[in-house]
Amino acid sequence: MHIVSLAGGIGGARFLRGLRATAPDATITVIGNTGDDITLFGLRVCPDLDTVMYTLGNGIDEQQGWGRAKETHVVKEELAAYGVEPQWFGLGDRDFATHIVRSQMLEAGYPLSQITQALCTRWQPGVRLLPMTDDRCETHVVIDDENGRRAVHFQEWWVRLRASVPAQSFALVGVDTAKPAPGVLEAIEQADVVILPPSNPVVSIGTILQVPGIRDALLPKTVVGVSPIIGGAPVRGMADACLTAIGVETTAQAVLELYGAELIDGWLVAEEDEGVALDGVRVPARPILMHDADAAADIARTALNLALELT
Ligand code: GDP
Ligand code: FO1
Ligand code: CA
Ligand code: CA
């Protein structure tokens, strides 16, 4: 069986760990969000790809959900001692090594997809991890503050501002000319089912769906999604601030409508969201809180069984 999954960072990674556990014999191809990527201190950082890679490779800081376990921050302190900006992004020493390898390979001319594969040789995530695109394609956020209207990088809005300044809009810079990374469209074509983990519907899944060709390739497939919104709130993070910015309510119903019945065949919601409905979509209400790895596996099994039923 071949499963394709689109993934952001923490929500996607934890779900994928469950999917891998529940379908150990399946081939799982993960199409990762690279809209969060940023260049800092001359190094290319890919937070969502790394979160998936470290989580599935047992190298993640489990408490935080991103970054490396047993991390130290000597380099960050030394950079700060030089007064080098930005100081609001917490890169750890172990994590720095990943960005050094990636940046060195980019400089040598390798595409991000091949670099990601090389990094995964160490981490053995047990899935094929592909960036959505090899092209530079970054989410920027239009905000109004004391400096007037301006666009900041997604990470500046998310990490430095903690999404406290309302986003007027999101701009995925570079998306018009971005091409799906090698293997992405082929994997979708060959997929038996497609599963959307409970990732951010705007700046994770929404971003991947904007890469020309990806959404269209998904339409003929059986696609089952897990709602990232339970009882009118994100389970963690600030997805509500992202949804508000694009004029979508923070409900499981509104996120389903955002994706649309054209794309979605099945939509798993929490038991308290029973009653969510859209013509042509099966919407079972089940426990969808990933409080541990076993719970994530149960949720993934429910999603996968629904997808197989609908195929
Ligand atoms: P990020 O890139 O690190 O922000 O992670 P993702 O985009 O992959 O996932 C973030 C989304 O996951 C948030 O909108 C959360 O509401 C959702 N999420 C996190 N944990 C859970 C969970 O246990 N269950 C469900 N249903 N959603 C979750
Ligand atoms: N998130 C934070 O809230 N603060 C940080 O300092 C931070 C550093 C960081 C470093 C590497 C990495 O892979 C992820 C990091 N994250 C940090 C998480 C990440 O920026 C965001 O959660 C996602 O990009 C939003 O989806
Ligand atoms: Ca992300
Ligand atoms: Ca379909």
CA of 35 to the centre of ligand 4 (A): 25
CA 41 to the chain's CA centroid? 24
**What is the reported pLDDT for 47?**
98
Q: How far apart are CA 43 and CA 87, in angstroms?
A: 15
CA 23 to the chain's CA centroid? 20
**What is the reported pLDDT for 112?**
99
Question: Pocket of ligand 2, candidates 45, 51, 60, 66: which has the most ligand atoms within 8 Å of its Cβ, to mutate?
Answer: 66
The pLDDT tens digits of the residues spanning 181-210 come to 999 999 999 999 999 999 999 999 999 999
- The overall pTM is greater than 0.95: yes
CA 98 to the chain's CA centroid? 18
Q: Which residues line ligand 1 (CB under 6 A)?
A: 7-12, 48, 51, 198-200, 204, 226-228, 230, 234-237, 239, 288-290
Q: Is 177 exposed, middle or buried (0-12, 13-18, 19+ CB in 10 A)?
A: exposed
CA of 72 to the centre of ligand 3 (A): 22
Cis, peptide link before residue 125, omega less than 30° from 0: no
The pLDDT tens digits of the residues spanning 205-255 come to 999 999 999 999 999 999 999 999 999 999 999 999 999 999 999 999 999
Is residue 168 within 8 Å of 140, Cβ to Cβ? no
Ligand nearest to the CA of 188: 4
CA of 48 to the centre of ligand 3 (A): 5
**What is the reported pLDDT for 146?**
86
Q: How far apart are CA 189 and CA 272, in angstroms?
A: 35
Confidence label for 127 from pLDDT (cuts 50, 70 and 90): very high
Q: How far apart are CA 107 and CA 7, in angstroms?
A: 26
Q: Which atom in ligand 1 lies closest to the alpha carbon of residue 291?
A: 23
Residue 132 vs residues 42, 46, 94, 273, 296: alpha-carbon distances, Å: 22, 12, 25, 31, 24
